[in-house]
Amino acid sequence: MLTGNLLWVLMGTMLLGIAAGITGTFSFLQKQSLVGDAAAHAALPGIALAFLLTGQKDLPILMLGAGITSALSVYCIQWIVSFSKMKADAAIGLVLTVFFGVGVVFLTVVNHSPLGNQSGLNNFIFGKAATMTKADLTWLFLSATIIIIVSLLFYKEWKLLIFDPMYAKGIGLPIEALKATLTVLIVMTIVTGIQSVGVILMSALLIIPAVSAKLWTRKLSSMLVVSAVIGGVSGIVGTFISSTRTGLSTGPLIVLVAAAIFFLSYLFSPAGQMYKYFRKKQFRKQGEVG
Amino acid sequence: MNALTVENLSVAYDKKTVLENANVTVPSGRLTAIIGPNGAGKSTFLKAILNQLPNKVGKVEILGKLFDPKSLVVGYVPQRNAVDWDFPTNALDIVLMGRYGHTGLFKRPSKQDKLLAKQALESVGMQDFAQRSIGQLSGGQQQRVFLARALAQNANIYFLDEPFAGVDAATEKTIIDILKSLREQGKSIFVVHHDLQTVKEYFDYTILLNKTILASGATEEVFTPEQLQKTYGGKLFMMQDMLGANSLC
């Protein structure tokens, strides 16, 4: 059952989960989680367009297309927010739906084309890790490793950038370049996950591990570790279930596993509900005795 | 040498001019108050000096040179509410950020950096809170941590944006004592300040600001009823009534 290929796929999605757990933590703290959601949806037109232009389902080319439209969507959101009176939430909603709508139109065109039937591009919506070939996996490994290494390299700078950008600028840090690098890494994470998790639910892998980790710790370094572990575990378990029960997409299962971990964290972590409940109870008891 | 020279500084937000044609020169080694009514552009003035605003014209020189953030000569203490204190980190970590400019890109802070951060935290009386997460600190403690970060940077000139807003009396005393000792070391300090009653006690130099610089100089020369009247307009009468006439000056 645990064939050689499945083992590689599991390791691939684990690495993806770790990368998403790390970059997701930075974007969550920067309050940019929803921008990541829009960027993930915006990968769809890029994928379809890359396929239409080249006529091939070649992962690096599809990833390039996804990266371009995804980055474009982030740029659009920033542009709308700074040059119109529109608030960020409205701008994100607008960009997300427009890009995704365009993506669905392109995808329909692909499906009606002669090549389309076998393209399997529909799998990019909800993700199908089991369909990954050796070559696809190589790209996933490479990309996820780069993301993890670069994130750790920028740890100190991003920490200051996110906590206090004005101070960062005041000591001469190149804050615009640092912000841009973070955005590029988020887009890279999304692009890395399009085949195994899919564009619709990719943002969950950026958000859920990070919010769960925040419940367990009050230090950024340990938050990154916890978030990476939760992301990695979600990736492995979700992919494993998806590959044994054929027919189930990987993305939703990864999200369900991550959500289960979040729920457990919400109940049992130091910042969670159980702890609060017992603290309250203890407090009342002390009150009665005193 | 002059700590600060500002020539014809103007700033506009959305085509609305917030600061117009400000001119001021402040010698080194002074503890300077920047005062003026709400909305007078005090924070804007500070941010424009520190190159944080895109829409500014005019010339600013700090210690005789155009401001270069990389020189690390300027220690900036922003308003406490300018950041999200829910950020997952502890007090010592924030102070250590004051060393980042010295550490360099991508490098980890050294033992020396950590030692200096600890000393800075100790000098504001917060050594027992080093490992405390910042969200659990009181407003006064957070303000001390911010000051410690600027101290760890070991700058020559300090800019503080309302460091006394919403802090307890003990913190206010700690902060002003530290600022005075910085002045003894020959450093220059600029403080955006709100409490007119303490201006004479705390500061030896004063800048009066309302859309532009209305007056600047030694506190005893500038902090007069006439000048304050000019800066605050009708609002000051109300304050004088409340506090009793002449209690301020």
Contacts of A172 in chain B (CB under 8 A): 68-72, 101
Burial of A286 (0-12, 13-18, 19+ CB in 10 A): exposed
Which residues 6+ apart lie within 8 Å of B14 measured at CB? none
Closest-CA residue of chain A to B87: A163
Structure confidence by residue, pLDDT tens digits, A199-212: 999 999 999 999 99
pLDDT at A281 over 70: yes
Residue that the structure tokens 């700033």 belong to: B11
Q: Which helix (H) or strand (E) holds B56?
A: strand B56-62
Nearest beta carbon to residue B82 from set A29, A160, A166: A166
Using CA atoms, how far apart are residues A253 and A240, in angstroms rounded to an integer? 9
Nearest beta carbon to residue A220 from set B74, B89, B109: B89
pLDDT at B245: 47
Nearest beta carbon to residue B90 from set A157, A162, A219: A219
Question: Mean pLDDT throughout A179-203?
Answer: 95
B69 to A159: CB separation less than 8 angstroms, yes or no: no
Average of per-residue pLDDT values in chain B: 91
CATH class of B1-73+156-249: alpha beta
Structure confidence by residue, pLDDT tens digits, A155-166: 999 999 999 999
Residue that the structure tokens 């600890």 belong to: B118
Residue of A149, A154, A163 to mutate when probing chain B, most B C-beta within 10 A? A163
| pLDDT range class, residue A4, cuts 50, 70, 90 | confident
Using CA atoms, how far apart are residues B218 and A87, in angstroms rounded to an integer? 46
pLDDT at A1 over 60: no
Question: Mean pLDDT throughout A77-95?
Answer: 95
A163 to B153: CB separation less than 8 angstroms, yes or no: no
Question: Picking from A11-20, B54-63, B200-209, which range would have the lowest pLDDT averaged per residue?
Answer: B54-63
Structure confidence by residue, pLDDT tens digits, B215-244: 999 999 999 988 998 899 866 655 555 554
Nearest beta carbon to residue B69 from set A163, A171, A217: A171
Could you give the domains of chain A?
A: 4-289 (1.10.3470.10)
Contacts of B83 in chain A (CB under 8 A): 163-164
pLDDT at A172 over 80: yes
> Percentage of chain B surpassing pLDDT 90?
80
- Give Cα separations from A288 to A69, A278, A283, A284, B71 (angstroms): 62, 15, 9, 6, 60
| pLDDT range class, residue A56, cuts 50, 70, 90 | confident
A163 to B83: CB separation less than 8 angstroms, yes or no: yes
Taking each helix axis from N to C end, the angle separating A4-29 and A33-41, rounded to the nearest 10 degrees, works out to 130
B149 to A214: CB separation less than 8 angstroms, yes or no: no
Report phi then psi at B215, rounded to 5. -160, 155
pLDDT at A132: 87
pLDDT at B142 over 90: yes
pLDDT at B237: 57
SS3 breakdown of chain A: % helix, strand, coil, rounded to 5? 80, 0, 20
Contacts of B14 in chain A (CB under 8 A): none
> Percentage of chain A surpassing pLDDT 70?
97
pLDDT at A289 over 70: no
A156 to B69: CB separation less than 8 angstroms, yes or no: no
Structure confidence by residue, pLDDT tens digits, B185-211: 999 999 999 899 999 999 999 999 999
Give the DSSP letter string of A41-97. Answer: HTHHHHHHHHHHHH-S--HHHHHHHHHHHHHHHHHHHHHHHHHSS--HHHHHHHHHH
Give the DSSP letter string of B129-170. Answer: GTTSBGGGS-HHHHHHHHHHHHHHTT-SEEEEESTTTT--HH
A:B CB pairs within 8 Å: 77
Q: Pick B242 or A222 by higher pLDDT.
A: A222
Using CA atoms, how far apart are residues B130 and B79, in angstroms rounded to an integer? 21
Nearest beta carbon to residue B88 from set A157, A171, A218: A218
Question: Mean pLDDT throughout B104-118?
Answer: 94
Residues of B with CB under 8 A from a CB of A: 47, 50-52, 68-72, 74, 76, 78, 82-84, 87-90, 93-94, 97, 100-101, 103, 105-109, 133, 135, 149, 153
Closest-CA residue of chain B to A224: B88
pLDDT at B242: 53
Average of per-residue pLDDT values in chain A: 92
Question: Mean pLDDT throughout A109-133?
Answer: 84
- Please determine, for the modelled complex, whether the ipTM score is greater than 0.85: yes
Question: B94 to chain A, minimum CA–CA distance in Å?
Answer: 9
pTM higher than 0.90: yes
Question: A50 to chain B, minimum CA–CA distance in Å?
Answer: 36
Using CA atoms, how far apart are residues A158 and B1, in angstroms rounded to an integer? 36
Using CA atoms, how far apart are residues A144 and B135, in angstroms rounded to an integer? 33
The angle formed by the CA atoms of residues B10, B13 and B15, to the nearest 5 degrees, is: 90
Could you tell me the residue ranges of all domains in chain B? 1-73+156-249, 84-154
Report phi then psi at A271, rounded to 5. -95, 10
